[in-house]
A and B are shown apart, each in its own frame.
Chain A
Amino acid sequence: MFPRHKSIWRRILSLCLTDVREYLKRPLLLFCLLGAPLICIIFFTTLMWSGLPTNLPAAVVDEDDTQVTRQFLRTLDAMEQTEIVAHFHTFGEAREAMQKGEIYAFFYIPEGTTEAAIASRQPHVSFYTNEVYFIPSALLMKDMRMAAELLGLSLTRETLYGKGLTPDRAMGILQPIVIEKHALGNPYLNYSVYLSNIILPGLIFILTMLCTSYVIGEEWKKGRQKLLYRDMNYSQTTAIAGKVLPITIIYSFFILFTDVYLYRFLEFPCECGVLNMFVWGVLGVLASQGIAILFFGIFIGQMRFSMSVSSLWGILGLSLSGFTFPISAMHPVLQYLCWLFPLRHYYLIYVNQALNGYSIAYVWQNVVALLCLMLIPFVVIPRYRKAFLKAQYKP
């Protein structure tokens, strides 16, 4: 089938073509290669289309019910992230609504608040959030806190106006120190920028690892591994390279698609240019393939087991990349372990390059680590000889 005089490149090319023809016969594999990344890209970007959640449902328990508290509640309702969806008569009703998941937070104004405030008896108001829902409650807490502080300040402001001060002067007294927020790189606190940028490549890396193990394992499953080895002129490297190359190309295309979609179409911040991010994404894909090839080489013949380990690695990579919960707050063992995950390095390079636009020299360790992960299959390549010649598929 493959004459001896054929060059390595011709052999790889013909293996790729044979493989691609086989993919076309497998609807499920085709779905994972083409459908799954596309669905994920569409899903995450449309789910978080609004960027920052606004008008989250909250409630009030206004036992005082005076003109002053009404005014205050209107202020609270007008805030960006809060929408008052219900007025409850008792604390218990509000708590029950929270347990039902109808509201994420509520503001409690006890009876006599206005009266006590006017008489300088220092009334007390409180607000409650349901921290089982982390993001909405954090956002609502910010608004409610602001509103509660304003409530006190507005009373003082009236006193100051009474003493004959101008609004400018009054603000200088009420709020002498103002914190000016500069969220570098993501000024609108867009959650989609924060999450999609890492989750999408992360999912592509997971799919890369799974499909790589799958297509390599296929040879053993069909018992064709010896034939393949012979056709590739008894070179493990050629055989593996030919098997994984179509996967590399397909997922690199999706990396490019993601980058163009996020940075050109949705205009997410990208200080370094789309092409640059594409290169890092492709390195990530190659590193993921490296790890998949490593696992398959370690557990030779056990296709399903190496796929399980790959999937565990991929899913764990999303946590250990540290973009939701920082690595520095994790157990020290995990702080070292995270070096073995391609997504971790991709994330740090993304922050350095696309989000902040710094020089790549600051993350050289991560670039080196990514390259090392990419080259890691060479550790097990000698073992593949045994795999090709002796190992059998174990169901």
Chain B
Amino acid sequence: MKYFNYITQVWYAEMHQVLHNFGLIIFSILVPLAYPLLYTFVYTNETVREVPVAIVDECHSNMSREFARKVDACSEVEVLYHCDVAQAQELMRREKIYAYLLIPSSFDKDIAKGRQTYIGLYSDMRCMLYYKAALLSATNVSLEMNADIKTNNYLRPTTDRQAEIMKAPVTNSYVPLYNPQSGVASFLIPAVLMLIIQQLLFLSIGTSMGITREKNGGSGIPSDNPYFRNPLCIVIGKALFYVPLFMLIALYMYAGVTDWFSLLSLGDYATFLAFIFPYVLACTLMGISMSAFLYRSEDPMLLYIFMSVPLLFLSGMSWPVAAEPMFWRYVSWLFPSSFGTHAYARIMGTGATLHEVAFEWKGLWIQCAVYGVTAIMVYWHELRRIKDTHFLRHKQGFLCFFCDYF
């Protein structure tokens, strides 16, 4: 009963602190609600269509025009200009176009003579998506025209069916699973959502710790609260506040954000809940452990904000894990977000069940155990420091290293 009382008092103290500080309310409630919406809004168009390109047609034949027409008809690009090379280069410099196609003057002659002809694709490399769009449309048109030329000029089919077979002796189809429009939002947002949970948990817990330390002369234990006695109870009490709060936020992301922006949602609630609980718990315990280094309420912002971007890349959602150096892969296992982003993306995106995300799920539980121990050690250390009268006597001298304003 005594311990139960300790836990509830710590829980209450934490809630009181968060709800009575505007800065903490921002981090733990307002930003988690608003930021996913803002971020998803940025990427909501998903794909790049109608990239402006120019065509430099030095051939002016029937066939080269057919090529130009077919390129223009692709959804990826829009042919805005027909001009010469110098003009195209100038347009590129002026950012009016991002690529141009150069059809050589010998284009139709080469084809008529049965020689290969080369169409140059000159693309600005400022953005991979522009290059991808230009290359994809040019390749698709060339494949289609190649099949026509091959069949009509050389193979000479007798029936329509034979022509079809000659064009494509083996047909193929490409099925982009789980994200049919190859959208940017669909692959980026799940990772960002999970990172938001982790980073905001770190920020909230760190800021709360900073505030406590500022009030209590550098100690993480409030001096006016007699219930902060047992490290285990402190950690449980704090976790009991943050875990349900961020579980609710995660549910809001899962149900709300995903639905409003029509992101992928193939996962089911049970799997999601079974995964999100260890994730939020691991983040909370890691946040408590890391708060050992934070002595002021502003410190977490300095430390955590810039980490978001490396962590996004470390998670392996954008840069493939297969191409990650082993060292960084091991480092990524230190952070719950690396497991969390993969598991969430696969649960939501591919409808994976717990069985398929078992590796990540186990990883999260191991992190819970490890960071649970370190979190308890942090508070054990804090409590010992208070008890240590020797420490108290030298408190002034020791703390000025961290907090010189005391």
Contact = CB atoms under 8 A, between A and B. Distances in A.
Partners in one complex: yes
Interface of A: 22, 25-29, 31-32, 36, 39-40, 43-44, 46-50, 53-57, 95-96, 98-101, 104, 113, 117, 120-138, 141, 144-145, 148-149, 151-152, 155-156, 159-160, 169, 171-186, 189, 191, 194, 199, 202-203, 206-207, 210-211, 214, 217, 221-222, 303-305, 307-308, 311-312, 314-316, 318-320, 322-326, 328-331, 334, 347, 351-352, 355-356, 358-359, 362, 395
Given A32-B303, A101-B346, A134-B188, 19 more contacts: A25-B401, A54-B323, A122-B168, A131-B176, A131-B179, A135-B318, A176-B145, A179-B142, A189-B128, A191-B319, A194-B125, A303-B298, A328-B48, A331-B41, A334-B42, A351-B126, A352-B93, A355-B125, A355-B126
Nearest to B162: A120
A126 B298 contact: no
A137 B47 CA distance: 15
Contacts of A324: 127, 129, 184
Nearest to A137: B176
22 contacts: A27-B402, A43-B310, A46-B328, A49-B325, A113-B170, A131-B179, A133-B345, A134-B182, A151-B170, A169-B114, A173-B149, A176-B117, A176-B145, A179-B139, A182-B121, A189-B125, A203-B310, A221-B298, A319-B42, A325-B129, A330-B45, A355-B125
A207 to B, nearest CB: 5
B312 to A, nearest CB: 10
Q: Interface size for chain B: under 10, 10 to 19, 20 to 34, or 35 or more residues?
A: 35 or more
Contacts of B188: 134
A100 B135 CA distance: 31
A190 to B, nearest CB: 9
B93 A132 contact: no
B121 A99 contact: no
A117 B165 CA distance: 10
Most buried by A among B116, B126, B299, B301: B126
B200 to A, nearest CB: 11
B393 interface: no
Given A56-B322, A184-B122, A323 B127 contact: yes
B342 A101 contact: yes
A289 to B, nearest CB: 16
A305 B310 CA distance: 24
A203 B350 contact: no
A156 B154 CA distance: 11
Interface string B291-309: 0011101110111011011
A176 B116 contact: yes
Contacts of B31: 308
A298 B392 CA distance: 41
Contacts of B211: 395
Contacts of A312: 35
Contacts of A169: 114
A132 B345 contact: yes
Interface in B179-198: 179-180, 182, 184, 186-188, 190
